[in-house]
Amino acid sequence: MKLTRAVAGAAVLSLCVLLAVQPAAAAAAGGNVEGTVREEVQKAIKADPGVGPALIRLVFHDCWVNGCDGSVLLDTTPSNSSSGVEKAAANNIGLRGFELIDAIKAKLGDAVSCADIVVLAGRDAAAILSRGRITYALKTGRRDGVVSSAAAADATLPQSTFEVSQLKGNFAKKNFTTEELVVLSGAHAVGVSHLSSFKDRLNAATATPIDPSYAAALARDVEALKGQQNTTDPTERFNIRDMDAGFRNASGFDATGVNTTAVGVLDNSFYHATLQNMVLLKSDWVLRTDGEASGSLSDFRDDAAKWEAEFAAAMVKLSNLPAEGTRFEIRKSCRSTN
């Protein structure tokens, strides 16, 4: 009798404990989502540093087209074959990181949307690549869309051959200022670009002003990369900081204020390079040609902390672009609708 009572008491007690910890457990589960994403991103960047820049770009390419809805991850949709989805868009050349998103999704299951995973992973990549200097909080609760269109991605994402007025107009459509355009372009401090995205800069007939010594060093390097990568369209590192000393010296790069040992680090070195005409993309260089944008370029070159803070704020704004559309779900696989 006594024993039974004790057991019953224990059962009631454990039920109370269970109820009491329920909200805390739910909060911990929320914490685990962010912890799991961070852990997976950390592991992946350790194994392949190129994944970091890829994740930051994924945030832009997902959220710019239809808002943050995971649409960039779809391999097909009910209304589109693989040739018609965002991944197939010309402007999405080189987009990568999908396997890591899949791996994170496999760990988190149905409770978390693919759209949330994209922005959380991008946030962690920015924190890791900036060595902890770019951090920001994000809300979760995004839902996944069911539409993904290559044509929409090509119509919506900016192109590397855009003039500054087109870049400004593209950002204004999403309610982003010229300053935010300049801030976010600083992401091109990290990662790579295909030759086809900057070949206009190496052709005298189409070139926008580019430092001639840098252009010559770049042309030589690109030829070597074609052999190394066994392709006519190799990928080149964006940042002259990340090139070896031979390349930097041949270009006459003035590294004052740039930490040349911080290879692969997300910092304000993009602005040092742009203001010396030593950047790959026309769309990066043309920021110099706009009065408003060029003022921001020198501000961010001269004040790393200001750029880091503004980059974090602009990434939050980007990660919060609301999903457009009428049908949403939490996808089971990030690559297909349920």
194 forms part of the interface with ligand HEM (CB under 6 A): yes
Based on the residue annotation, tell me whether 194 is a catalytic residue of this protein: no
How remote is the C-alpha of 50 from its chain's centroid? 11
Q: Which residue number, 154 or 329, has a Cβ lying nearer to ligand HEM?
A: 154
96 forms part of the interface with ligand HEM (CB under 6 A): yes
68 forms part of the interface with ligand HEM (CB under 6 A): no
Beta bridge partners of 80: 77
Least distance to ligand HEM, CB of residue 264, Å: 10
226 forms part of the interface with ligand HEM (CB under 6 A): no
Burial class (CB in 10 A: 0-12, 13-18, 19+), 309: middle
Q: Whats the size of the chain, residue-wise?
A: 338
Whether residue 35 is annotated as binding a ligand: the answer is no
User: Which of 66, 149, 178, 197 touches ligand HEM by CB under 6 A?
Assistant: 197
Least distance to ligand HEM, CB of residue 127, Å: 14
Least distance to ligand HEM, CB of residue 69, Å: 17
239 forms part of the interface with ligand HEM (CB under 6 A): no
| Single-letter code of the amino acid located at 64 | W
Whether residue 86 is annotated as binding a ligand: the answer is yes
123 forms part of the interface with ligand HEM (CB under 6 A): no
The CA-CA-CA angle for residues 27, 32, 36, to 5°, reads: 160
User: Which of 38, 158, 218, 258 touches ligand HEM by CB under 6 A?
Assistant: 158
174 forms part of the interface with ligand HEM (CB under 6 A): no
| Closest listed residue to residue 272, CA positions, set 292, 246, 290, 248 | 248
Whether residue 252 is annotated as binding a ligand: the answer is no
Inter-residue contact 269 to 307 (CB < 8 Å): no
Beta bridge partners of 236: 193
167 forms part of the interface with ligand HEM (CB under 6 A): yes
Burial class (CB in 10 A: 0-12, 13-18, 19+), 303: middle
Whether residue 102 is annotated as binding a ligand: the answer is no
Inter-residue contact 278 to 285 (CB < 8 Å): no
Catalytically annotated residue among 38, 57, 61, 123: 61
For 335, other C-beta atoms within 10 Å of its C-beta total: 18
Q: How far apart are CA 2 and CA 211, in angstroms?
A: 89
Burial class (CB in 10 A: 0-12, 13-18, 19+), 175: exposed
Binding window for ligand HEM (CB under 6 A); candidates: 75-83, 131-139, 185-193, 224-232: 185-193
Bind-site residues for heme b: 188
Binding-site ranges for ligand HEM (CB under 6 A): 50, 53-54, 56-57, 60, 93-94, 96, 158-160, 162, 167, 181, 184-185, 187-188, 190-194, 197, 281, 283
Active site residues: 61
